[in-house]
Amino acid sequence: MTYCCGILVRDGLVMIADTRTNAGLDNVSTFRKLHVFEEPGRHVLALSTAGNLSISQAVISTLQEGLENPETGAKETLATCSSMFRATQLVGRAVRHVYDLYGTALKEADLRFDVSFLFGGQVNGGRMRLFMIYAAGNFIECTSDTPFLQIGEHKYGKPVLDRSITFDTDLLDALKSGLISMDSTMRSNLGVGMPIDILAARRDAGQAEVNYRIEAGEPYYHDLRERWSAALRAAHTAIPRPPYGR
C-alpha cells in the first residue's frame, strides 16, 4: 500500500509520502515514492506516486529521458515545460506512453494498469498548483475550497485533514497536519510505513524550504506521535460519559 498527500495553502505546497511497497503480503520493501525535481529559481516540482511500482517507475524514467512533443517534434522534459499546466500534461503523456508500451501485456497477465500521482509545484514564477493525475493521463486540480489531495490508502488520514486544513493554514502547520494524518494511517494500516519523505515549498521562494526524509525513531516525529496520542487520550477523558438510557 501507499499513502501520499499534497496540501496547497496560500503560503505554499506540502507533499508527504510513505515508502512501503508490497508485492503480495510477504514481500515488503522500501521504495521512494516522492520525487523532487528542482532547478532553483526556475522550478520546484514534486511528484508522488501510488499503484503498480513498475508503472510509476517507468513514468519517472520516461520523464527523465524526455518525451517527444507530437506537434513540434522537440524532446520535452519537466525542465523544458514553461508552466505547471504544461508540466502536468507532460506527466499525463508519460503515463499514456507507458500504457502504450505495457498496457496490453498487463491486461493479458490479469493486472490492472493501476497508477495515480500527485504533482505539485511552481514553474517560472507562475502560479503554484497541485494536481492529481489518473491512469488515463487526465487530471484534476486542487483548489482553495478543499486544499488537499490524497492518493493510495487515503481514508484513515482524511478526518485529520478535513478538520485542520484550510487555504489559510500556515505552511509548516500544514506540514504538521500532514504528518499527523500519516501517523493515523500508519497506525491503522501496516501497509503504510516509515521512512516518510516530505517536501515543503514556499510560494515564490524559488526552491524547496523542506526536502527531507524522516527515518524511524527521528526525535521530532517521535515526539509529535506521542503528543498527539496523549492529547487524544486526554480529549477522550475530558468528554463526559453518555447520559443515554433505554
Peptide bond into 242 cis (omega under 30): no
CB of 169 to its own copies, least distance (A): 10
CB of 231 to its own copies, least distance (A): 3
Q: 137 and 65 in contact (C-beta within 8 Å)? A: no
Cell numbers given for 207? 526552491
- Nearest to its own copies of 68, 170 (CB atom): 170
CB of 146 to its own copies, least distance (A): 12
Cell numbers given for 172? 509548516
What is d(CA 112, CA 102) in angstroms, rounded to the nearest whole number? 11
- Nearest to its own copies of 75, 227 (CB atom): 227
CB of 8 to its own copies, least distance (A): 17
Q: What residues contact residue 97 under an 8 Å CB cut-off, 6+ apart?
A: 62, 67
- Nearest to its own copies of 62, 185 (CB atom): 185
- Nearest to its own copies of 112, 233 (CB atom): 233
- Nearest to its own copies of 73, 243 (CB atom): 243
- Nearest to its own copies of 125, 159 (CB atom): 159
CB of 33 to its own copies, least distance (A): 18
DSSP states along 94-120? HHHHHHHHHHHHHHHTT----EEEEEE
Cell numbers given for 232? 487524544
DSSP states along 60-85? HHHHHH-EE-TTT--EE-TTT-SSHH
- Exposed / middle / buried, residue 61 (Cβ in 10 Å: 0-12, 13-18, 19+): exposed
What is d(CA 87, CA 89) in angstroms, rounded to the nearest whole number? 5
Q: 172 and 205 in contact (C-beta within 8 Å)? A: no
- Nearest to its own copies of 13, 55 (CB atom): 13
CB of 10 to its own copies, least distance (A): 17
Binding site residues, its own copies, CB under 8 A: 155-156, 158-160, 162-164, 170, 172-173, 175-177, 179-180, 184, 187-188, 198, 200, 208-212, 214, 220, 223-224, 227-229, 231-236, 238-246
CB of 28 to its own copies, least distance (A): 20
